[in-house]
Amino acid sequence: MKRYLIFTDLDGSLLDHENYSYGSNKKIISKIINNKNEIIFNTSKTFSECKKLLKELKLSNMPFSCENGAVLYFPKIRFNKIKNSSSFEKYWKVRTAKLSSKNWHQFLLKKQKKFNFLIAQDLSPKILKKYTNLDNTSKMLNREASQIILWKDSLVNLKKFKNVLKSEKKRSINTR
């Protein structure tokens, strides 16, 4: 029997984008795992958001990426220590992002002077719930190497903003 390694997103793929439930996908995931296949998910969610899902879906022994690939986690039970990793709970953690969440926040605050966007971290839980439909937004804000923004500006300025990010990336984004 062939074995498969399946990479997937969470929101809108394994999880319903509106209510974040996995419905019948839990049964499908069990069948995939029982057939000796593996599922690795890549998500914008934080580690604290993923931890509960991993346990519920019985994927705790699978590697996964959080914050859009900014942080990777490899279960110690299956992987030897990975170069440039640190021990974090029962995982080896590799941060691929150069900047911390705090540094990203400082960088974005400066860019708000030129572009119109909101930084999720600066919004009240009530406003965040309106945008995310989450009852508890604290886990989504527990970010290590990224920030969530809500774009309010034009598409033209979005393109300019992306170019700023690309040029700053080349200089490792100076937040001073």
Helix intervals (H) in 57-117? 101-111
Instruction: Name, in order, each residue with C-beta under 8 angstroms of 44's C-beta and a sequence gap of 6 or more.
Output: 11, 66, 67, 68, 146, 148
Here the tokens at position 73 are: 């986690």
* pLDDT value, residue 73: 95
Structure tokens at 127: 């406003």
Distance, CA of 14 to CA of 23 (rounded, Å):
9
Task: Note the pLDDT tens digit of each residue in 22-57.
Answer: 777 778 888 888 888 888 889 999 999 888 888 888
Q: In terms of pLDDT, which residue wins out, 174 or 163?
A: 163
CA distances from 47 to 4, 56, 69, 77, 90 (A): 25, 14, 11, 18, 12
Model confidence at 168, in pLDDT bands (50, 70, 90)? confident
Rounded to a whole number, what is the distance in angstroms from the first to the last CA of the chain? 56
How confident is the model over 1-12, as a mean pLDDT?
82
Q: What is the mean pLDDT of the chain?
A: 87
Structure tokens at 113: 């002077």
Which superfamily is assigned to 5-95 in CATH? HAD superfamily/HAD-like (3.40.50.1000)
Phi, psi of 131 (to 5 degrees): -80, -35
- State pLDDT tens for residues 119-162: 999 999 999 999 888 888 898 999 999 999 999 999 999 999 99
For 123, list phi and psi in degrees, rounded to 5: -95, 155
CB atoms within 10 A of CB 41: 23
Residue 97: DSSP 8-state: -
Counting beta carbons within 10 angstroms of the beta carbon of residue 73, is it exposed (0 to 12), middle (13 to 18) or buried (19 or more)?
Answer: buried
Pairing of strands 38-41, 5-8: parallel
Where does CATH 3.40.50.1000 sit in the chain?
5-95
